[in-house]
Structure 1
Amino acid sequence: MVEQDTDRLDALFHALADGTRRRMLRSLGGQPRSVGELAAPFCISLAAASKHIKVLERAGLVTRQIRGRTHLCHLQPQALAEGEAWLRHYAQFWTARLDVLDAVLQAAAPSPSFPTEDPS
C-alpha cells in the first residue's frame, strides 16, 4: 500500500513540476477545455499538449471526455488532496521554525519608548 501511495505522489508532483501543466490546470479551474484551447496559450502542437495532458491524467488531475473529434479535459481537484495531506505533515516543522523566529525577533526588538513631557 505504501508503494502505491508513493507512486501516486510521484505522479502528482511530477505533473505539477512543469509550468506548462500547472498553467493548464489553472485554466481548467473555471470550466472544461478542449486540447486545442489548452495548447493555444503556449504555441505548442496538439500532440505536445496531449502529452502534457496524459501526464496530468496519470496523476489523476484531469479526465478527458471524447465528443466526436473533440477531447474535453476536466479538472479533478480532489487528486490534489493527497499532495496537500503530504505537505500538511511538514507544515508542523515550518510552523515550529517560524514560532522560534518570531520569539527571537520579539526578544531582539527594542521596547517602545514614550516621550516624556517637558515640564517647562
Structure 2
Amino acid sequence: MRTASQSSSDGAYGECIVKSRLGLAPVFKKRRLHFISPVPEAIRMVCGFLLGMEGVRSAIPDGDALLVEYDLFQVTLAQLEKTCAGTGLVLCSGFHGWMRAIWRFTEDNEIQNAAHPISRGCCNRPPAHTS
C-alpha cells in the first residue's frame, strides 16, 4: 500500500502517459487551489504557464484561488503545485494543505491502479465450494 508521502516517480506515471496516448480514456480532475495573499497578476501569469502544460484543460483565476481542470494521465496535482510555487505563489496550508495531500495520495493510487490492469482471473468468479 502506498503512503501519502510517496510519489509516482517509480515509473507508473510515465507508463500511464503512454497508455493515455494509446487510447486509455482520460481521467479529468478539477481542483481549486487557494493561495496566501496572491497578486492578481501572478495568478494570471501562472494560468498562462499551466495552460501551456500538456493535459491542462483550463486554468481560471477566482479571487485568491485558481480553478484548474486537467487530465490525470498527463499531469498531476504535484506538478501543478510545483509550477505554481515556481512563480512565487504560496499555496495555503492548514485544511487546504491537508486536502491537497489527500488529492495527491488518491491521484497516485489511481495512476498505480491504471498501470496494473486487473487480470480478471480470480476477482470476477465466486469462490469454489470445496465440500
Would you call these one fold, judging by a TM-score over 0.5?
no
Max Rg structure:
1
Q: TM-score if structure 2 supplies the norm length?
A: 0.24
Q: Which has the higher contact order (CA 8 A, sep 6+)?
A: 2
Which structure dedicates a bigger proportion of its chain to strand? 2
